């Protein structure tokens, strides 16, 4: 097992794990991309139009909604508004990744933003956490190999192949996405605060989704969960855990790149955390680069 000598995996080991995680997601993304291609063809899209939806729009659920609206002959405005609402949650992903990518040139970040999807965020956040630092190449691996390429290739295959639209549930594809998101979320739970944020985010997300619909409900969970996590005292350190041969310290947050201030360290300096509280401050955290 490759290691940096601390309890963090080296880049090659972390990327191997990232590729394994990416493979599972890519299969599901390709399945849904193929179904989208078939549905688009049945709705009268040309291959160019279907490909444009997947490369330029690149908007997942909104693309499926658009197929239904277009085939029903509805005007474009509701489609555009629905797309806006469905994709508002990306603000949270973008804001969450921003501190880690601040050293990346602005044009590079602008390009990264186009491929920032649920899956790309989940894969990169888990990868950064595992690695203990930002890895721009790793972001592209998850976003391009895990989502953009399979989604677009499968869209083209679907729209060119034609035929009846299969039911993804017959292959269990509908379960891959939530299972992957849940699995990647649990990988980010490294202490009491993260656990409370995740648990309350899930509960609020479900209740709010029932009340106002999933698009806004999921955002509500993502916005309110962290507040409850922040209100929770930091938990005790746990022993390092192993991620497919890669040890990951259970209490280590994703370190910020370069000379950025660690949040817990900053809070400790502010007096929020006593220096020897057994919490997730630097004294009790495993060695990080």
Establish if 99 lies at the interface with another protein (CB under 8 A). Answer: yes
Query: Does the protein bind another protein through residue 1 (CB under 8 A)?
Result: no
Interface with another protein includes 8 (CB under 8 A)?
no
Q: 125 and 97 in contact (C-beta within 8 Å)?
A: yes
DSSP string, 35-60: HHHHHHHHTT--HHHHHHIIIII--T
Rounded to whole angstroms, how far apart are CA atoms 47 and 45? Answer: 6
H or E segment to which residue 241 belongs: strand 241-243
Q: Which of 146, 150, 158, 222 binds another protein (CB under 8 A)?
A: 222
Of the residues 109, 149, 157, 277, which one makes contact with another protein according to CB under 8 A:
109
Spatial distance between the Cα atoms of 52 and 235, rounded to a whole number of angstroms: 48
Q: Which of residues 129-168 bind another protein (CB under 8 A)?
A: none
Min CB(89)–another protein separation in Å: 7
Q: Is 230 in the site for another protein (CB under 8 A)?
A: yes
For 192, half-sphere exposure in the C-beta direction (CA atoms, 13 angstrom radius) is 12
Q: Is 112 in the site for another protein (CB under 8 A)?
A: yes
The piece of 8-16, 85-93, 144-152, 155-163 that touches another protein (CB under 8 A) is: 85-93
Segment lying near another protein (by CB under 8 A), choices 3-11, 133-141, 158-166, 222-230 = 222-230
Nearest-approach distance from CB 5 to another protein, in angstroms: 21
One symbol per residue from 170 to 199: x for binding another protein (CB under 8 A), - otherwise; what is it?
A: xxxxxxxxxxxxxxxxxxxx---xxx-xxx
State yes or no: residue 254 binds another protein (CB under 8 A): yes
Q: How far is the CB of 82 from another protein (least distance, A)?
A: 9
273 binds another protein (CB under 8 A): no
At its nearest, how many Å lie between another protein and the CB of residue 263? 4
Q: In 3D, which of 213, 205, 153, 198 has the Cα closest to residue 31?
A: 153
Please state, in angstroms and rounded to a whole number, the distance separating the CA atoms of residues 116 and 137: 14
**Pick from 15, 26, 37, 87: which binds another protein (CB under 8 A)?**
87
Binding string, residues 24-53; x marks residues near another protein by CB under 8 A = x-------------------xxxxxx--xx
- Is 284 strand, coil or helix? coil
Residue 127 found at the interface with another protein (CB under 8 A): no
Q: How many helices (H) and strands (E) does the chain have?
A: 13, 2
Q: Which residues contact 249 (CB under 8 A, 6 or more apart)?
A: 7, 8, 190, 237, 240, 241, 285, 286, 288
Rounded to the nearest 5 degrees, what angle is found at the Cα of 195, between the Cα atoms of 84 and 179?
A: 55
User: Smaller CB distance to another protein: residue 157 or 171?
Assistant: 171
Among 2, 80, 160, 161, binds another protein (CB under 8 A): 80
């Amino acid at each position: 097992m490759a290691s940096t000598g601390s309890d963090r995996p080296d880049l090659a080991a972390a990327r191997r794990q990232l590729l394994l995680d990416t493979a599972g997601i890519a299969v599901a993304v390709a399945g849904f991309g193929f179904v989208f291609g078939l549905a688009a063809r049945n709705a009268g899209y040309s291959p160019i139009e279907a490909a444009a939806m997947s490369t330029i729009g690149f908007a997942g659920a909104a693309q499926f909604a658009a197929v239904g609206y277009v085939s029903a002959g509805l005007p474009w405005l509701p489609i555009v508004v629905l797309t806006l609402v469905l994709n508002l949650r990306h603000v949270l992903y973008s804001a969450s990744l921003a501190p880690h990518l601040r050293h990346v040139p602005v044009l590079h970040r602008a390009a990264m933003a186009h491929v920032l999807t649920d899956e790309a965020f989940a894969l990169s956040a888990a990868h950064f956490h595992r690695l203990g630092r930002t890895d721009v190449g790793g972001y592209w691996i998850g976003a391009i190999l895990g989502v953009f390429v399979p989604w677009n290739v499968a869209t083209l295959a679907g729209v060119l192949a034609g035929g009846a639209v299969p039911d993804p549930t017959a292959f269990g594809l509908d379960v891959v996405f939530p299972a992957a998101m849940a699995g990647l979320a649990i990988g980010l739970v490294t202490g009491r605060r993260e656990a409370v944020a995740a648990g309350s985010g899930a509960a609020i997300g479900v209740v709010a989704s029932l009340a106002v619909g999933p698009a806004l409900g999921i955002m509500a969970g993502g916005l309110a969960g962290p507040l409850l996590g922040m209100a929770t005292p930091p938990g005790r350190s746990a022993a390092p855990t192993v991620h497919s041969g890669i040890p990951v310290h259970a209490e280590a947050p994703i370190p910020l790149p370069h000379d950025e201030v660690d949040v817990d360290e900053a809070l400790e300096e502010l007096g929020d955390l006593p220096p020897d509280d057994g919490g997730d401050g630097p004294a009790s955290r495993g060695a990080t680069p």
